[in-house]
Structure 1
Amino acid sequence: MTKRRAGIKVLTGALAVALSCVLFQCRQAQQGPQIRFNIVLDSSVLGVQEISVSNKVPWELIWGADNRLWYNEQEGRIYQMDPVGGKRKLLLRIEDVAGKTTAGLLGMASSAPDPATGRSYLFAAYTFAMKDSIGLKLVRYLVQKDTLVEPKVIAVVSGFRGHYGSRVAILPDHKLYWATGDGAQQGSTQNASDLKGKILRFNLDGRIPADNPVPGSPVWARGFRNIQGLAFSDTTLLYTSEHGDAADDEVNLIRKGGNFGWSAIEGKANLAEEKAFADSTHAIDPLLAWTPTIAPSGIAFYNSSKIPEWKNSLLLVSLKDRSLRVLGLSKDGHAIVKERIYLDKIYGRLRAVCVSPEGDIYLSTSNRDWNPYSKPAADDDKIIRITKVSRVTAKVLRGKAPETKLSRENAIGLYTIYCASCHKEDGSGSPGMFPSLRTTPLLNQQQPLIDVFLFGKSTKDNPNRMPSFKFLNNEEAAAILNFIRSGWGNNHSDSITEAAVQERRNAKKGR
């Protein structure tokens, strides 16, 4: 072989290698960041990618009219993001956001471009400071290229001490739905003139539609404690996810003018007084309720053929349970017929979920919020993409069925399920919010301790009160209380008996 031919062969080989590298890099750019995990279903393999890290509580994820991912941070920032590569651009910083604990910039929704004008709007719900409380308002912004302009206040709700909600959704018929929490205000949800604890319905310009249940009122449905997810199916069925108190987190199918029971009913109406209220108001039972609670958050409807196993399902993310749940629906969408859990405890608290037109799924973590379950990772919070891939290339994660029966084998298990999300696994609590169980003086007072545990505690200045755990039986209550009194160096040798718990129940009834 001549030197010239040899040189050509070497050059050709080098070009081939270079071209191969370029093509590989191009494919990597198209596919986005590396696959961290694979989820294996019946016939599909999914890849889990972290497309954005080091965010600060991304509260909402939506698919924008520009075919990009839009998200916000609770402190008041709204971003546009490349949904594959993760490059982001700040669109707006809202200056009057009040962002303490669960308050801040919350739900968002984007309208499709108007056929007549080409205009598209972004709607954002956020809390702001008022003289004596916190207010919640819904604001419309005109989307103008890469900016948000011409803010217009659609509605304002006042009198919040907590439980803000608040999600937003838009139907193709240009009707706007806004979910508000009960404000941690007793009686607000059943008061027709109070807009807290409701789903409100508007036209995109803020006017009240003529076909609302009550003329002149934006109320579409009532009786909600703290809605955290709002999603339409492709047949325009409206679903919500909602925080209960110490029991009965819910998924509901919303009906026009429906009453969903709070605070007279928790979960399904199965107690005598709950049944009486349901009979008198035609209150509607949830499709599904969880006890122990899982703290459900964002919800999205999935009906893409990209992941056929999840077609016609609700995708639900949770904070306390720290998982993605796939809730299979009946053909008519009126029942949940299957439940599977994915990403269980892998990424911590999960706040929001959305689906792209191509059938990819996006999730956001919430590990830097006011009540982290544990110390956040150095690169929290993250935005995660789940997409279909051709083969397994990373650690395999599989789904699991929910536990059909709560394990009651040990006290630490009961404590972890019912108490650790607030008071932490080590009993340290959350400064300024939830007291440390290592130091509270209640540990030395059996009767007051039992009363607080069974019946809860409410204070004027703290809406994040101690909930009631009276639904637990005497054995479970005594086990948890004795675990607290003997753990973390407390060493109280006098045990709380089941009889003592029953005595306090009887005393409460006798008052």
Structure 2
Amino acid sequence: MRNCCRRGAAVVIGVLAAALAACSSGQGPSPTGSGSGGPPATSDASSEPPEEPAETDPTPSGETGLVVVPDVEVEVADVATGLDAPWGLAGLPDGTLLVSLRDERGLVVVDPDSGEIQDVGGPGADELRDETVTGGESGLLGVAVGPEGGDGAGEVFVYRTAADGNEVLRGTLDGTGLSELDVVLDGIPAAQFHDGGRLAFGPDGFLYVATGDATQDGTSQDPGSLGGKILRITVDGEPAPDNPEPGSPVWSLGHRNVQGIAWDPTGRMLASEFGQNTWDELNVVEPGGNYGWPDVEGSGGQADGFVDPVAIWGTDDASPSGLAATREGAYLAGLGGERLWRVPFASPDGGSSADAFGEPQVVVEDLGRLRAVLVDPAVEQGEDGSSALYVLTNNTDGRGEPRSGDDRLVRVAISPAS
């Protein structure tokens, strides 16, 4: 058992409007919700201070499950501390949380009520420790738990770097004991950088795998390569039915390094993506969509058949890794930007254009680098848009500045601004 902490006194962080968020660091271009291949355009409407909304009540969504909430307030509290380079985060059926440790090549179970942290053991844990390769951005990365009632219910899936590339493994967790692991999918390009790694089950019950281009030219645009893609597979590793190309696991292509995937209550799929030197992206993911890398970074690729992002950031402002979606917005965990970004939903009906999203806002900062974000599965999201998230910091990953207690798992309670 590791050192742990109970939740500390909550720290209330006020609402930050998009205009404040854009200038909070003084670094790089301002974020924009419209997307642009160059500096964000200035319109007559944006050149003047925005009008205060006439009402603060959220706009109800009807049957879609979305609400339009202009601004939110958050309350942040520690759940657990002392984690070493945590990366993946998933909820277990008993209400505890499963966290992967990239460089330690291990898994831990966190009790969110007590903050207790327990190491996962067993033959599967031994295999992860002995056969996972670390270095740079590689190691033990994403983790997902099979949804109840579906194939692979309760089983654990991990994305890790092996000697011959990245792969997805599957095992059974009994308490804190992990069974021997089976390879579900291999042949994913690996490198010291751009390793992808996020795993998540979609509303359809299939496993989605986010991969990086592994710094290999041509990988992202090559439909025969698993690099620079979002993949959609069964729990046995087979291409899921109704994929864009029968017999292929590829769901979307043209990605540089996706490390965040999520679905909102309408079933709309979102992905966060690291840019090279200019623009980070939030995308609505369409089956068969080509997101342009390396031909396009940011927006401006529609004429060539590429899908434009719905929001972009300067790379110093975001470097987005984990992603979660609530009824009222998308939340991105920023590494380089050291912030939790909110992109509010502007339409209760969803939509795949930039008009369906509001201007990005900073809702949490001062925690350092942020790696993962997860909607608290134990909290029912309110009709007013209230909810809660778990967020992992990542200051011990070799690029941050660790402080006392790092790395930590925190809980972020969200409510509409009063």
Class of the TM-score when normalised by the shorter of the 2 chains:
0.7 to 0.9
In structure 1, distance between residues paired with 2:272 and 2:312: 10
On the 8 A contact 1:364/1:383 being kept in 2, the answer is: yes
CA contact (8 A) 1:35 1:47 kept: no
- Whole-angstrom distance in 1 between the partners of 2:358 and 2:326: 15
Which one-letter code corresponds to 1:194 in the other structure? S
What letter is aligned with 2:161? T
Counterparts of 1:367 and 1:47 in 2: how far apart (Å)?
Answer: 21
Q: Which residue of 2 aligns with 1:18?
A: none
Letter in 1 for 2:394: S
1:52 corresponds to? 80
The counterpart of 2:12, out of the listed 30, 34, 38, is 38
**Larger RCO: 1 or 2 (CA < 8 Å, sep 6+):** 2
1:165 Cα deviation after fit:
0.8
Please point out which of 156, 172, 178 is paired with 1:122. Answer: 156
Out of 326, 333, 346, the residue aligned to residue 302 of structure 1 is: 326
- Equivalent position of 2:406 in the other structure: 380
Change beyond 3 A, Cα 1:178–1:292:
closer
Contact kept? 2:276, 2:315, Cα under 8 Å: no
Counterpart secondary structure, 1:363: strand
Identify, as 1 or 2, the structure richer in helix. Answer: 1
Q: Does 1:288 align with 2:300?
A: no
| Aligned counterpart for 1:224 among listed residues 246, 249, 255 | 255
Pairwise CA distance, 1:46: 4.1
Q: Over the residues paired in the alignment, what is the CA RMSD in angstroms?
A: 2.4
Partner of 2:383: none
The answer to whether the Cα contact below 8 Å between 1:221 and 1:257 also exists between their aligned partners in 2 is yes
Does the 8 Å contact 1:114/1:120 carry over to 2?
A: no
Identity value in percent = 32
- Counterparts of 2:101 and 2:297, CA distance in 1: 31
Q: 1:102, 1:370 within 8 Å by CA — same for their partners in 2? A: no
Q: Establish whether residue 248 from structure 1 lines up as the match of residue 265 from structure 2.
A: no
**Cα distance in 1 between the residues matched to 2:407 and 2:199:** 22
Would the aligned equivalents of 2:219 and 2:228 in 1 still touch at CA under 8 Å?
Answer: yes
Where structure 1 has 5 or more consecutive residues not aligned to the other structure, the ranges are: 1-30, 270-274, 304-311, 390-397, 399-511
In structure 2, runs of 5+ residues without a counterpart are: 16-55, 58-71, 380-386
2:34 corresponds to which residue? Answer: none
Indicate whether 1:331 and 2:361 are aligned.
no
| Match for residue 174 of structure 2 among 134, 141, 144 | 144
For 2:173, the aligned partner's letter is: V
**Larger Rg computed on CA atoms:** 1
Q: How many residues align?
A: 337
- 1:336-381 Cα distance to aligned partner (Å, 9 max, x none): 213221222x111111111112032111111111222xx3113211
Name the SS for the 1:165 alignment partner.
coil
Alignment correspondent of 2:45: none
Q: Residue 100 of structure 1: CA displacement?
A: 0.7
Q: Please give the TM-score of this superposition, normalised by the length of structure 1.
A: 0.62
Deviations 1:84-127 (A, max 9, x none): 22112212431211111111111111112336x99421111011
1:191 and 1:222 mapped to 2: Cα distance?
Answer: 8
Aligned residue for 1:4? none
**Contact 2:92-2:154 within 8 A present in 1 as well:** no
- Do structure 1's residue 318 and structure 2's residue 318 form an aligned pair? no
Letter in 1 for 2:116: K
- Would the alpha carbon gap of residues 119 and 355 (structure 1) be closer, same or farther in structure 2, given more than 3 Å must change? closer
- Corresponding residue for residue 368 of structure 1: 396
* Equivalences for residues 14-163 of structure 1 within 5 A: 32-41=6-15, 46-75=74-103, 76-92=105-121, 93=125, 94-95=128-129, 96-114=131-149, 119-130=153-164, 135-161=165-191, 162-163=193-194
Deviation of residue 139 (structure 1)?
0.8
CA distance in 2, matches of 1:388, 1:174: 27
CA distance in 1, matches of 2:149, 2:175: 15
Q: Deviation at 1:196?
A: 0.2
Q: Hey, what's the Cα distance between the residues in 1 that align with 2:188 and 2:241?
A: 25
CA distance in 1, matches of 2:230, 2:118: 32
Q: 1:316 to 1:66 in 2, by over 3 A?
A: same
Question: Post-superposition shift, 1:325?
Answer: 1.0
Match in the other structure for 1:480: none
Question: Cα gap change, 1:78/1:266 in structure 2, threshold over 3 Å: closer, same or farther?
Answer: same
Q: Secondary structure, in 3 states, of the residue corresponding to 1:212?
A: coil
Match for residue 447 of structure 1?
none
Aligned to 1:113, what secondary structure does the other structure show? coil
Determine if contact 2:161/2:190 at 8 Å carries over to the other structure.
no
